[in-house]
Chains A and B, each alone.
Chain A
Amino acid sequence: MSKTSRTSVTVPPRAQRGSIIEIRAIAQHDMESGFRYTDGGKIIPRDIIRVFTCTYNNVEIFKADFYSGIGANPLVIFTTIATETGTLEFRWIGDHSYEAVNQANITVV
């Protein structure tokens, strides 16, 4: 049984070849740090997204390792060069077999 959640990505739908584009990716996730306690004094187990990857036509262009210090609903804004028309795939992998995938298409002229 794997968990998933809502995600959202922002990629410009079209771009000039060779131009630098900005990509925003956000996933809905509590990112429970594992350092908090309940009122009863019990520690709340960690439940975070650990890895985020972005592939551009199946080539990895960006990867990030997340730790407990990343805020809830992790947002990442990064850049890439628009090389060719195709698909960007975003993948979030986390604790308790969490996995979420999102895609965006880009037309390069």
Chain B
Amino acid sequence: MRQDSHFSRFQQGRRTWFKRIQKLGLMAIGVWFSPVTVFAKPEDAARAIQAITGGKPLINGKVNLAIPTLIENGNLVVLKVSVESPMTENDYVKAIHVIAEGNPLPNIFTAYLTPRSGTANLTTRVRLADSQTVWAIAQMSNGSFYQGRAETLVTLSACIESV
């Protein structure tokens, strides 16, 4: 008898625990669909990347994209891209494309290089609308594409403020 009541109490405890977990799950879904996450559109970025590569495969590596991991102000973010390449007539980086999946317009810039560039290093300052992944795609002279990426956390977002 005593043992039975113990058992039922255990059952009760397990049930409420399950309910709590379910509530947590619902909260997680709520956060997922909040306006902040809807603002980011990775599929737009995927479309922009598709337009660059024309469906050719993207190889990971060779591209190094450096942006601060934690950004206080998204309006001016120093972005550095470097691509490993000998930069000779036969083997050089033709173009570097930078795509931000959380920006209203994913394309940030495209730089066109030549063998006369000597290196494939580039620094500029960009705007980031949200915490997101930024992609750098290098188009090589032989037609292949390499990609690098960087994750970042933005505290003050660019371009949502009004004037």
Question: CB within 8 Å of B: which residues of A?
Answer: 20, 33, 35-39, 44, 56, 59-81, 83
Partner pick for A76 among B75, B103, B116, B122, CB 8 A cutoff = B122
The one of B112, B119, B126, B159 that contacts A70, using a Cβ cutoff of 8 Å: B126
Chain A contact residues, majority secondary structure: strand
Q: Would you give the shortest CB distance from B111 to chain A, in whole angstroms?
A: 4
User: At the interface, yes or no: B109 with Cβ under 8 Å from chain A?
Assistant: yes
Q: B161 near A: Cβ within 8 Å?
A: yes
Given A76-B124, A81-B116: 20 more A-B contacts, CB < 8 Å: A36-B163, A44-B163, A62-B114, A64-B109, A64-B110, A67-B108, A69-B108, A70-B109, A70-B124, A71-B75, A71-B125, A72-B75, A74-B125, A75-B124, A77-B122, A77-B123, A78-B121, A79-B117, A79-B119, A80-B116
Complex: how many Å from CA A73 to CA B109?
14
What are the 3 tightest A-B residue pairs by CB atom distance, in nearest-first order? A69-B108, A77-B123, A20-B118
| B53 to A: closest C-beta gap in Å | 16
Q: Residue of B at shortest CB range from A83?
A: B116
Q: Which of A39, A62, A77 contacts B113 (CB 8 A)?
A: A62
A35/B109 in contact, CB under 8 A:
no
Also in contact, A80 and B117, with CB within 8 A (given A38-B162, A39-B162, A39-B163): yes
Is A36 in contact with B109, judged by CB distance below 8 angstroms?
A: no
Considering the chains assembled together, what is the distance between the CA atoms of A72 and B159 in angstroms? 12
Q: Flag B77-109 by CB within 8 Å of A: 1 or 0 each.
A: 100000000000000000000101001110111
Known: A35-B104, A39-B162, A66-B109. A79 touches B121 (CB 8 A): yes
- A78 lies within 8 A of B127 (CB): no
